[in-house]
A and B are shown apart, each in its own frame.
Chain A
Amino acid sequence: MSDERTAVTTDEDEALAVTDQEPRQSDPRVGDGPGISVAGPAQGSRDGAQQETVVFEASGVNVHYGTNLALKGVDIPIYRREITALIGPSGCGKSTFLRCLNRTNDLIPGAAVSGDLTFHGEDMYAPDIDAVDLRRRVGMVFQKPNPFPKSIRENLAFGMKVNGLKANDDAIERVLRRAALWDEVKDKLGDDAYALSGGQQQRLCIARAIAVEPEVILMDEPCSALDPISTLAIEDLMRELREQYTIVIVTHNMQQAARVSDRTAFFTVEQPGDGSRYGILAEHDHTEKMFRAPEDQRTQDYITGRFG
């Protein structure tokens, strides 16, 4: 696997020649050449055997909203302590699929999930599964930062208390350090969370998610409401969190998927011509493979900017 990674950053590769719409930050981890650079071995190579553990296994997952089919026949494994990016055009169901993974779809009126979706081999949607406990183990960070309208400390303490964890000063500090937010907020833990900048709010939401000690963190376009500097901070954080957590991230930003993820899944829209329109999973693979030599023509078109 690490062999494939090192082979990736050949800049001349046609498939990679995506024009950068925005000038990229001078980030040492990102290659200087044109096109999408895929996370290289600088991230640190990790034990290949360990990460092959499957956390989620989806097979034939469909999602309906009311009578509308939104997502059809998704088959994908999601591996432990990896970052899996879900990319694709608008309305392709990538966020819908993400929400299946912690059953937040249950909270949306009319949403119904069918097919097999397992978490560590157990059927997540079995009738006797407690979705509340599942959500504790599979945390989520939303598109728009949504801290609670309370102090920074209370934002972290809520989830901990709900889950029977001690929310003392040590625990708060530990969590904030892990979310790379401690230095910025250590003197104002009692301040309202909405006094923070958007990027800090989003890192607080990540801190809040890891405070309840989940195994998996789902991120639904966590940077789409943020400026490039804050985006960079969150991406840095994700790379650190990968050492301990399984991360699934939905992103509109292909460069972001290429920069941070180990594997990428490409969702697209299918319109069979009878007026229906639903999302499907077109292809999934190691990120460098997906961006260098995708097998599916639609993936190729999307990542080279021909549509989407």
Chain B
Amino acid sequence: MATTAAPQSSAEARPLARKKFQPAEVAFEWALRLSIALALGALVWLFVSVLTEGASSLSWDFLTSKASSSAARAGFKNALYGSLVLMMITVAVAVPLGFAAATYLEKFAPMSKDELRVIAMRRQRALEHRRGHGLSGIRLLLARIGVAASRVWATIGPPINRIVEVNISNLAAVPSIIYGLLGLALFVSIMGVSKSLLAGGLTLAILVLPIIIIASREAIRAVPSSIEQGAMALGATKWQAVRSQVLPAALPGMLTGTILATSRAIGETAPLIVVGGAAYSTKVPSLNPLQAGDQPLLAMPLQIFDWVERPQETLWGPLAAAGILVLIGTLVVMNLIAIVLRNRFSRSW
């Protein structure tokens, strides 16, 4: 400001600029609008066509009638019950495993070789100290095994953790039909589970496991480390701090991820077909998941697939469309629950 500028270059002298038409900017903005319209348009078209075809068949009777070879009497009950039991098994298996794995990977695995070596050395010194104070017999043996184990883990632990970490992301990207093959080999062939709801539920569980682990890790990571440190500064152990403070704070996020993962599983068809999904059974599956081992593997997407494949399209088409509406409705409800959970319990730290 102190320099004396020529009057024409000074800010006061120049008039304010007028708005200019910017073609590139306008074109870009409309291109963005067009792409979202296309994406949503496809969905809307799908929904409308399913709605017009299936609305007439969608009724309470449709939901509560058993499967039948006659289109006029056929209902969705078997498939609905089958999917319900599948979800129970999937959640019961995948949630504990997924939450535990995520907690380990996020809170206990990230230790370097050096740190683990320090821990092993500390244990060794503690052992010698306790030996000096008369530790002997079976307890000495156990302590020795503990020290040896932590030494071994200091060497192999970090690479193993790293491999696990990399592969969990890869697993989430594996096509679901591969999980079907895995389920068939592991549960049906090796473990001898019959081709039932149980085999299907277990297969879906390993299918959603990586997704649950990744989502839960993110939820745990979102809890600031100051919470854990605050708990440990009060004399809590690492486990107490994680269990009582970190995990409860992360739980809404973990549940949101679980619901989204489960809603993916509910629509899966391919892995169930591979594991041995029944295209048609008049038996209504029991809702008791403990009996799932000898219930026919029925599910909503399998039933829809079966109806769509039948030759008399005019007869079965509306039923398939109604089934799709039920499936979409279920997914919408689950996603809404996830959104409500997230909005209700999310906090800014």
Contact = CB atoms under 8 A, between A and B. Distances in A.
B130 A135 contact: no
A49 interface: no
Interface residues of B, number: 29
A142 B232 contact: no
B235 A132 contact: yes
A208 interface: yes
B51 interface: no
Interface string A184-217: 0000000000100000000001001100100000
A112 B121 CA distance: 13
Interface residues of A, number: 31
B194 to A, nearest CB: 46
A127 B129 contact: yes
Interface string B120-161: 001001100110000000000000000000000000000000
Given A128-B126, A128-B129, A142-B226, A148 B233 contact: no
B231 A158 contact: yes
Contact of A128 (B125, B229, B249): B125
B114 interface: yes
Interface in B228-243: 229-237, 240
A142 B226 CA distance: 8
B248 A150 contact: yes
A109 B236 CA distance: 19
A137 to B, nearest CB: 8
Interface string A253-288: 000000000000000000000000000000000000
Contacts of B240: 162
A298 interface: no
B111 interface: yes
A127 B125 contact: yes
Contact of B245 (A110, A140, A158): A158
Interface in B209-254: 224, 226-227, 229-237, 240, 244-245, 248-249
A203 to B, nearest CB: 14
B112 A146 contact: no
A95 interface: no
A159 interface: yes
A107 B118 CA distance: 13
A159 B126 contact: no
A213 B126 CA distance: 28
Interface in A74-115: 102, 104, 107, 109-110, 112
Given A109-B111, A158-B244, A104 B232 contact: yes
A162 B235 contact: yes
Given A110-B112, A148-B245, A149-B249, A127 B126 contact: yes
Interface string A138-153: 0110101011111000
A146 B226 CA distance: 6
B109 to A, nearest CB: 12
Contacts of B224: 146
Given A127-B129, A146-B224, A148-B245, A159 B229 contact: no
A142 B237 contact: no
A133 B235 CA distance: 6
Contacts of B232: 104, 107, 132, 135
A146 B230 contact: yes
Contact of A140 (B110, B114, B129, B233): B233
Nearest to A134: B235
DSSP class of B's interface residues: helix, strand, loop or mixed? helix
B309 interface: no
A212 B235 contact: yes
A34 B118 CA distance: 52
Interface in B86-135: 110-112, 114-115, 118, 122, 125-126, 129-130
B33 interface: no
Contacts of A208: 230, 234
A110 B236 contact: no
A148 B115 contact: no
B20 interface: no
A149 B347 contact: yes
A110 B230 contact: no
Q: Which of A102, A127, A139, A209 has the most CB of B within 10 A?
A: A127
Contact of B234 (A110, A135, A144, A150): A135
A292 interface: no
Contacts of B244: 158, 162
B347 to A, nearest CB: 6
Contact of A104 (B115, B233, B248, B347): B233
Given A109-B115, A128-B126, A158-B245, A205 B230 contact: yes
Nearest to A161: B244
Nearest to A164: B235
7 contacts: A109-B115, A146-B226, A146-B227, A146-B230, A148-B230, A150-B248, A162-B244
Q: Which 6 A-B pairs have the closest CB atoms?
A: A136-B235, A127-B125, A159-B234, A140-B233, A146-B226, A146-B230
Interface of B: 110-112, 114-115, 118, 122, 125-126, 129-130, 224, 226-227, 229-237, 240, 244-245, 248-249, 347
Given A142-B233, A159-B234, 11 more contacts: A104-B232, A127-B125, A127-B126, A127-B129, A128-B125, A140-B233, A146-B230, A149-B249, A159-B231, A205-B230, A208-B230
Interface of A: 102, 104, 107, 109-110, 112, 127-128, 132-133, 135-137, 139-140, 142, 144, 146-150, 158-159, 162-163, 194, 205, 208-209, 212
